[in-house]
Amino acid sequence: MAILKPILYILVYPGLIFLMVYSTFCEWFDRKLYARMQNRIGPLHTGRSGILQPVADIIKLFAKEDIVPEKADKHMFSALPVFALAIICTTALYLPLWHYSEAPSFISFPGDLIVVAYLLTLPTLIYFLAGWHSNNYFSAIGGVRVLTMLFGYEIPLLLALLSPAVLADSWRILEIARFFQDKPLLMLVNLIGFFIAVIALQAKLERVPFDIPHAETEIVGGQLTEYSGKKLAFFRLLGDIEMVVGAGLIAAVFMGGFPGGLLPGLAWFILKTLFIIFLLAAMRAATSRIRIDQMINFSWRWLAPLAVLQLFIVIIIKGMVS
């Protein structure tokens, strides 16, 4: 039985199966919201209100011809999508969902916030490598843009995640969540940090206004130009799961996590992640894509100083509270 629980945890909930199902639902939710904000209807035909459309898209991609360009690095080109998906599914395990032990375990331990932040950076690196090894001009430009953007948003995101950790006096996501569950009012202290984290997450997910690496009117598919079929489906899934994990991390760190055991925890998880996805969709609908230089300027002129300011506020508040 002791071994069964981790297996269940990895495979079913909140591991692979749950992630696949929930991430496709989130993609549908995002697409539908985005469509409604643009005065469109959005997916409609597959399943009830088009709820199965993301699944259908992925099945379609899996059925397509799988092309590896002649000039590309064949091993890297094929291995990268699998690696990326594996890494992001691993990251999902660190979200304090249902099974989290009081004592440190491989899933929850002091310092897992840093591990999650680190693991969330890896898909970006994989995007860059995918672009580079495609051996295509557009992919290479896209790949370089991915890395350039990483330097823009990663520091503000880390600083933003730091402030609740400082306030809760812990690097463990579970403990940060529990701290805010006990003192919900203190969540308001981190409001600036929350918005910085949401903006940085938008940049990490490469969505408008930060879809610079795969801006289709400029560089076609960006780093994924050469990808097709199964491999592209992997990257699609990666994007969806990254959205869920990113939203889940922000919900756990800034919004008090998912208390109350299995079912209430699941309900909180869905509610909070959908709220963050709503913010992401609204941002996507209200803005236009910016240039890479504008993005870096914006991150260092606004996001990073604001994140530092947030840290100062947290330190002052902490001095007042304790």
Partner 1 sequence: MEFKVSLGPQHPALHEAVSLRMTLEGEIIRDADLKLGYSHRGIEKLAEERTFTQNIYLTERICGICSHSHTTCFVQGVEQLMELIPARRGLYIRTLIAELERVHSHLLWLGVAGQEAGFESFFMYTWRDREVVMDILDWITGNRVHYAMNTFGGVRRDIDELQKKKILDSLDLLTKRTEYYLKIGANEPTFVGRLAGVGKLSREDAIALCAVGPTLRASGVPMDVRKDDPYAVYNEIPFEVCTADSCDVLGRAVVRVKELIQSYKMIEFLLKNLPDGPFKVKAPRKVKPNEVYSRYEAPRGENVHYIKSNGSDKPERLKVRAPTLANYTATIKMLKNGFIADIPLIFAAIDPCICCAERLVQLDNPRSGESKVLSFSQLRTMANDHYKKVNLLKKEAVWPF
Contact criterion met (CB below 8 Å) for 104 and 272: no
**What CA–CA distance (Å, rounded) separates 279 from 290?**
18
260 secondary structure, DSSP code: S
The smaller minimum CB distance to partner 1, of residues 90 and 148, is found at: 148
Nearby residues of 36 by Cβ (< 8 Å), 6 or more positions away: 42
Tell which one of 100, 138, 194, 234 touches partner 1 (CB under 8 A). 138
Rule CB under 8 A: say whether 203 interacts with partner 1: no
Binding mask 155-194 for partner 1 (x = CB under 8 A): ----------------------------------------
Check residue 103 and give left, alpha or beta (phi > 0: left; psi -120 to 50: alpha).
Answer: beta
- Please say which residue, 101 or 294, places its beta carbon nearer to partner 1: 294
CB closer to partner 1 out of 81 and 209: 209
Read off the tokens for 46.
């597959």
Q: Is 155 left (phi over 0), alpha (psi -120 to 50) or beta?
A: alpha
Q: How far is the CB of 57 from partner 1 (least distance, A)?
A: 18
Nearest to 88 by CA among 273, 234, 278: 234
Determine the Cα–Cα distance for residues 193 and 229; give it in Å rounded to an integer.
39
- Residue numbers 51-90 binding partner 1 by CB under 8 A: 71
Between 105 and 287, CB nearer to partner 1: 287
The nearest distance, CB 214 to partner 1, in angstroms, is 11
Q: Which of 209, 239, 256, 257 binds partner 1 (CB under 8 A)?
A: 209
Binding mask 8-37 for partner 1 (x = CB under 8 A): -----------------------------x
Closest distance to partner 1 from the beta carbon of 39 (Å): 6
Whole-number Å distance between alpha carbons of 242 and 275? 16
Asked whether the bond before 96 is cis by omega within 30 degrees of 0, the reply is: no
Among 1, 2, 4, 39, binds partner 1 (CB under 8 A): 39
Shorter beta-carbon distance to partner 1: residue 131 or 246: 131
User: What distances in angstroms separate CA 141 from CA 131, 212, 222, one per listed residue?
Assistant: 8, 10, 7
Q: Which helix (H) or strand (E) holds 16?
A: helix 16-37
Under rule CB under 8 A, which residues in 267-306 are in contact with partner 1? 285-294
Of 100-108, 205-213, 251-259, 299-307: span binding partner 1 (CB under 8 A): 205-213
101 vs 110: CA distance, rounded Å: 12
Q: How far is the CB of 232 from partner 1 (least distance, A)?
A: 16
d(CA 196, CA 194): 5
Q: How far is the CB of 121 from partner 1 (least distance, A)?
A: 23
Q: Which residues bind partner 1 (CB under 8 A)?
A: 37-40, 71, 135, 137-138, 140-141, 208-209, 211-212, 215-220, 285-294
